[in-house]
Amino acid sequence: MQRRDFIKKAGAVSLAVGAGLAGAGVAHAKPRYKWKMVTTWPKNFPGLGTAANKLAALIGEMSGGRIRVKVYGAKELVPAFEIFDAVSRGTAEMGHGAAYYWKGKNEAAQLFSTVPFGLTAQEMNAWMYHGGGLKLWTELYDRFGLVPAPAGNTGVQMGGWFNKEINSLADLKGLKMRIPGLGGEVLKRLGGTPVNLPGGELFTSLKSGAIDATEWVGPYNDLAFGLYKAAKYYYYPGFHEPGTTLEALINKKALHGLPKDLQSIVLTACQAVNQDLLAEYTARNPIALETLLEKHKVDMRIYPDDVLKQLRKLSGEVVAELADKDAFAKKVYDSYSKFYRRAKRWSDISELAYLQARDKA
Quickly list H helices, the chain: 2-28, 48-62, 83-89, 121-130, 133-141, 181-189, 202-208, 219-225, 252-256, 260-290, 305-323, 327-349, 351-360
Report the pLDDT averaged over residues 213-217.
97
Does the pLDDT at position 13 exceed 50? no
- pLDDT over 80 (residue 28): no
Alpha helices in 131-259 (DSSP H): 133-141, 181-189, 202-208, 219-225, 252-256
Pairing of strands 176-178, 213-214: parallel
Mean pLDDT, residues 158-172: 96
pLDDT of residue 30: 82
User: 106, 318 in Cβ contact below 8 A?
Assistant: no
For the segment 149-153, the average pLDDT, to the nearest whole number, is 98
* Burial class of 148 by CB neighbour count within 10 A (0 to 12, 13 to 18, 19+): buried
191-226 burial code (b ≥16 CB/10 A, e <16): ebebbebbbbbbbebbeeeebbbbbbbbbbbbbbbe
Whether the predicted pLDDT of 7 surpasses 50: no
Please determine, for residue 59, whether its predicted confidence score (pLDDT) is greater than 80: yes
Cα three-residue angle 328-258-275, rounded to 5 degrees: 60
Nearest in space to 152 (alpha carbons), one of 210, 217, 211: 217
Domains, the chain, in order of start with CATH, read 33-153+243-282 (3.40.190.170)
Residue 312 in this model has a pLDDT that exceeds 90: yes
Looking at residue 304, the DSSP 8-state letter turns out to be P
Answer whether 115's CB lies under 8 Å from 182's CB. yes
Sheet order of strands, 67-72 included: 67-72, 33-39, 94-97, 245-251, 146-153
Closest by CA position to 69, among listed 256, 281, 246, 254:
254
Report the pLDDT averaged over residues 4-27: 48
What is the rounded CA–CA span in Å between residue 303 and residue 238? 10
Q: Are 331 and 135 in contact (CB under 8 A)?
A: no
| Mean confidence (pLDDT) of the chain | 93
Would you call 197 helix, strand, or coil by DSSP?
coil
pLDDT tens for each residue of 258-286: 999 999 999 999 999 999 999 999 999 99
Q: Calculate the alpha carbon distances from 169 to 45, 150, 165, 310, 343 in Å.
A: 34, 34, 11, 8, 30
pLDDT at 257: 98
Rounded mean pLDDT, 203-226: 96
Q: Using pLDDT thresholds of 50, 70 and 90, give the confidence band for residue 156.
A: very high
pLDDT of residue 22: 45
Pairwise CA distance, residues 97 & 35, whole Å = 17
Each residue's pLDDT tens digit, 328-341: 999 999 999 999 99
pLDDT above 90 as % of the chain? 90
Is 60 exceeded by the pLDDT of residue 313? yes
